Amino acid sequence: MKHWGGCAGSRQCCFRSTGPGRDDPPVTQVVTDTLNTASLHQYPYIRLIIPWIAGVFCGDRFFNGSLELFWGILAFCFLAGLSIGCYFLGRYSLRWCFGIAILALCFTGGWVGITWQLQHATGYTFPKEETVYRGWVTDTPETKEHTFLCRVLLKEQRDSTAIHSIDDCKVILYLQRDSAAAGLKRGDELWVSARISPPVNGQNFDEFDYARYLMRKGISGTGYVVSGKWMLASSEMLSSGNGNIARKSTLLEVAGSCRDRILSLYRQLGFEGDGLAVLSALTVGDKTELSDSVRESYSVAGASHVLALSGLHIGLLYALLFFILSPVAKRGNAGRCLRAVFLLILLWAFAFFTGLSPSVVRSACMFSIWAVADIFNRQALSLNTLAATAWIMLLCNPVWLFDVGFQLSFLAVASILLTYKPIYRLLPVKSRIGRYFWGLMSVSIAAQLGTAPLVMFYFSRFSTHFLFTNLVVIPLVTIILYSAVVMLLLTPLHWIQNSIAEGVKFLLDALNTFIHWVEQLPYASIDGIWLYQLEVLGLYLSGGLVFYYFANRGLKNLLICLFSILLLGVYHVSMSWVDRPLDSIVFYNVRGCPAVHCIDNNGNSRIVYGDSLSDKRQLYRVATNYWNHHQLLSPLEVTADYQDTALCCREQILSYHGRRICMVTDHRWRNKSAATPLYIDYLYLCKGYNGHLKELRLLFAPECIILDASLSEHRKQLFEEECKQSGLRFISLSEKGSVRFLL
């Protein structure tokens, strides 16, 4: 069996030899073609996918649900006709017109595709009041802290007059946790009474755009369902509706059911806890069982990629199947064809059982091309193949462009294709074992170079021990994956299966123990990183120029490379100065966590909570990006009376840089009086106070009223009416979002 470094120093095609040993298993060798900028015409799919990606990005960025889809279709048809006409004319003088028409056609196609998908997600208008709906649970419910998250496909809406059919509207319902909701499963049919509304964001600074995320997933609305407001639909109830309403399961639902059976088998074999969670993620791509602590440990250690079912896992499975089917290929061309057919069937069967996620589909497509290319003795994997796979996937589903796993997978493979060979040649290794480990490290470095800017952009973290981690984790994951496959195949032989299951449990425990150990090492990760979108683009451009310089050395290329790095540094320093910390007071739109954030210009800050039961995790989840953006240090949490050189907090009255804030979270000010009302810059009204504003005005003279998101809708409206009647300025955080006051 060949390994990462097995033929790195030779001129053989990677993943397979072209000589007598052409049927050797393609374990981990990597294609090493370098993109020649002088012959970009040799990569037609790269030229096609660039305008297509630009069209998808622009269509998503400027989507407003208007008539842009109609005009986009007209433009697409016009450009298609123009390109066909220029092609069949065959005039050399019109070659530029044909090229521009094709590029414009790809751009328009991407725009139309993403617009059509987004309009489908926003095409249904929900009633503003509570309404009865009928729908099916399309996925296994996820357990949250106080609710069960259910993805539901709505089919009917019932009101006092009639039953109205709904055209496949996907929603997310949060069912209150109880014994009945705990028994829900995929495929259950429900009647629910709830107020469903389109998803909205909290409008906090640098907050993740959750509404756009759900819209890209095809989710039209969200709603909360209290206990007693839903029930399982019975056949009697269904027959009283619209008559024949039988529903066939979709392909994804059938795939999900198969995955649920595998997970049930894991539980029967005694897998539980973190071991079950990691095994489910490694083999079938189910990450619902992963706890926050496990995710954090793998992220810090630099091994998050093994929890995301993608090219690594498909490649390992492909290598195993290729090795098993090698005897079949020795029967000539017919044998190679038969092996390719078996590989295609087994690969897509695996993708089917994992729920057809974007990363798995991408990997299955690439390895399918690889299997077919082996029949014709052609190079299987190249930049053009990678671009073709991406273009086909985005043609089928344009929103996959915004999937983080999709982006990281393609960048990792592209980086390996471009940089693996130069990195491997930096250190000549003579021993076979040394070549194996250096080849493994070279691939890890190449993949990290391609994904590091994007990882830092999305997760604000860089794992410093990723090389050491992958040297141990990848072999362990390989053994675990192969053992799990054998374990599943031996289902009829229970006593052998149980023995293998015990071995898999031991390996999983070893893997998790090692990951936790790496997490505790000094400087395991660099956190709090903030990169701008232009900065990410600049890093990739600068990296490409550096790579081009080493491939084509010259003074001109060196100067261009250094200038790009200098320009990137100037941009980073300039933006860091613009976004430097300033003396300020911030109120966040976080339900269940009334807090005042007092920020110093040196990066230090204090968060004064309304009470000790505040939902701090939710606040950190919402505000961490904002803190990283402005280079803030970890805030000091204040839950009682406190005083330092800048902040004084007594009885929930804060004094900070000459500004006074009074947090009203209870009735401590009731039945009290003052000769002269105390001047207050910000009167912060939160859940827990059920009195009237006029009672507080006997004690305080506020400049501005801040209405917290924890207030009920009724209470908030009462305070707003009182403010309007008194002529007081007020800010509702649930409507305006986070607010910052510079001092």
| 602-634 pLDDT per residue, tens | 999 999 998 777 788 889 989 999 999 999 998
- Backbone φ/ψ region at 65: left (φ over 0), alpha (ψ -120 to 50), beta: left
Segment 157-173 shows an average pLDDT of: 84
Whether pLDDT at 30 is above 50? no
Average pLDDT, integer, range 709-724: 91
Strand 461-463 and strand 230-232: the pairing is unpaired
**pLDDT score of 45:** 82
So what's the pLDDT on residue 200? 87
Separation of alpha carbons 198 and 215, rounded Å: 9
Residue 103, token pair as written in the block? 């590029």
Q: What is the pLDDT of residue 71?
A: 63
- The span from the CA of 150 to the CA of 516, in Å, is 32
Query: Does residue 706 contact residue 587 with C-beta atoms inside 8 Å?
Result: yes
Instruction: Note the pLDDT of residue 629.
Output: 92
3-class DSSP state of 24: coil
Strand stretches in 417-475, DSSP E:
461-463
State yes or no: pLDDT of 107 exceeds 50: yes
Report the pLDDT value the prediction gives residue 414, as an integer from 0 to 100: 86
- The span from the CA of 75 to the CA of 72, in Å, is 5
Give dist(CA 738, CA 735) in Å, integer: 9
pLDDT one-digit tens code per residue, 576-597: 999 999 999 999 999 888 999 9
pLDDT at 270 over 70: yes
Q: Please check the confidence at residue 7 and state whether its pLDDT lies above 60.
A: no
The answer to whether 8 touches 441, Cβ cutoff 8 Å, is no
pLDDT at 719: 93
CB atoms inside a 10 Å sphere around CB 47: 16
For the whole prediction, is pTM greater than 0.85? no
User: Is pLDDT at 734 greater than 70 in this prediction?
Assistant: yes
The reported pLDDT for the residue numbered 237 is 43
pLDDT value of residue 513: 93
Residue 224 or residue 28, greater confidence = 224
Tens of pLDDT along 671-698?
Answer: 888 888 899 999 999 988 888 888 898 8
Q: What is the pLDDT of residue 377?
A: 67
Q: Kindly report, residue by residue over 480-497, the tens digit of the pLDDT.
A: 888 888 888 887 788 888
Cα–Cα distance, 53 to 690 (Å, whole number)? 53
What pLDDT, on a 0 to 100 scale, did the predictor assign at position 740?
94
The confidence score (pLDDT) of residue 702 equals: 92
Residue 161: other Cβ atoms inside 10 A? 6
Total length of the chain: 743
The pLDDT score that the predictor gives to residue 397 is 86
> DSSP string of 197-218?
B-------TT---HHHHHHHTT
CA-closest candidate to residue 641, choices 653, 630, 632, 650: 650
Residues 331-342 have pLDDT tens digits of: 777 888 888 888
Q: What is the mean pLDDT of residues 236-258?
A: 55
pLDDT tens profile 384-420: 878 888 888 888 889 889 988 888 888 888 888 888 8
For the chain, the average pLDDT equals: 81
Q: If you search the block for the tokens 């790579």, which residue do you land on?
A: 547
According to the model, what pLDDT value does residue 19 have? 37
Spatial distance between the Cα atoms of 437 and 420, rounded to a whole number of angstroms? 14
Pick the range with the lowest mean pLDDT from 313-327, 447-461, 464-478.
313-327
Report pLDDT for 685.
93
Q: For 664, phi and psi rounded to 5 degrees? A: -110, 100
244 — pLDDT class (breaks 50, 70, 90):
very low
pLDDT band at 75 (very low <50, low <70, confident <90, very high): low
By three-state DSSP, how is residue 80 classified? Answer: helix
Question: What is the share, in percent, of the chain residues with pLDDT greater than 70?
Answer: 85
107's CB contacts (< 8 A; 6+ apart) are 51, 52, 54, 55, 58
Q: If we measure between CA atoms, which residue out of 572, 613, 574, 576 comes closest to residue 595?
A: 613
Q: Please write the tens of the pLDDT for every residue from 637-667.
A: 998 889 988 899 998 899 999 899 999 998 8
Note the maximum CA span of the chain.
102
Q: Within a 10 A sphere around the Cβ of 193, how many other Cβ atoms?
A: 16
The token duo for 694 is: 């006029």
Q: Is the pLDDT of residue 187 over 60?
A: yes
